[in-house]
Amino acid sequence: MPGATVIIELLLWSSITLIVMAGCYNTSLFLLSRRRIRRSRTDRRPRFYVFLLACLNEEKVLSESLARITSLPAGNFMALVIDDGSDDRTGEIALAADPALVRLHRRTPPNARRGKGAALNDGVRHLRESGLLAGHDPADVVLCVVDADGRLDPHVVQSVDPCFDDPATGAVQICVRMYNRGQGLLARMQDMEFVVYGDVFQSARRFIGSVGMGGNGQFMRLSALNTLNAVDGAGPWSDSLTEDLDLGVRLIAKGWTNMHCTTAAVSQQAVLSLRRLIRQRSRWFQGHLQSAGLVPLILREVPTRPALDMLYHLSSPVLILLTSLLPVSFLVALGATVTASVQVGHPLVSPMWLLGPYLLSFTTAYAYGFIYAKRERELGLVRSVLLAHVFVFYGYIWFAAGWWGFWRMLTGKQTWLKTART
DSSP 113: S
Distance, CA of 264 to CA of 198 (rounded, Å): 11
**pLDDT by residue, tens only, the chain of 422 residues:** 444 455 445 555 555 565 666 667 777 777 777 777 776 666 678 899 999 999 999 999 999 999 999 999 877 899 999 999 999 999 999 999 999 999 999 999 888 898 899 999 999 999 999 999 999 999 999 999 999 999 999 999 999 999 999 999 999 999 999 999 999 999 999 999 999 999 999 999 999 999 999 889 999 999 999 999 755 567 899 888 888 999 999 999 999 999 999 999 999 999 999 999 999 999 999 988 989 899 999 999 999 999 999 998 998 888 888 777 776 666 666 666 667 666 776 665 566 556 666 776 788 899 999 999 999 999 999 999 999 999 999 998 999 999 999 999 888 876 655 666 66
Instruction: Measure the CA dihedral 274/276/278/283, to 10°.
Output: -170
Cβ 5 vs Cβ 349: under 8 Å: no
Distance, CA of 188 to CA of 375 (rounded, Å): 13
Q: What angle do CA 251, 252, 256 make, to 5 degrees?
A: 75
Give one word for 235, left, alpha or beta, with left for phi > 0 and alpha for psi -120 to 50.
Answer: left
- Sign of the C-alpha dihedral, residues 379, 383, 385, 390? negative
Please provide the CATH number assigned to the domain covering 48-273: 3.90.550.10
**Identity of the residue numbered 329:** S
- The domain spans of the chain are 48-273
Which tens digits make up the pLDDT trace of 77-88?
999 999 999 999
Q: Is 269 helix (H, G, I), strand (E, B) or coil?
A: coil
Angle between helices 243-253 and 274-290 (to 10 degrees): 30
- Nearest CA to 170 among 236, 259, 231, 235? 259
Cβ 44 vs Cβ 125: under 8 Å: no
- Nearest CA to 63 among 84, 77, 79, 48? 79
Cβ 265 vs Cβ 174: under 8 Å: yes
Cβ 278 vs Cβ 400: under 8 Å: yes
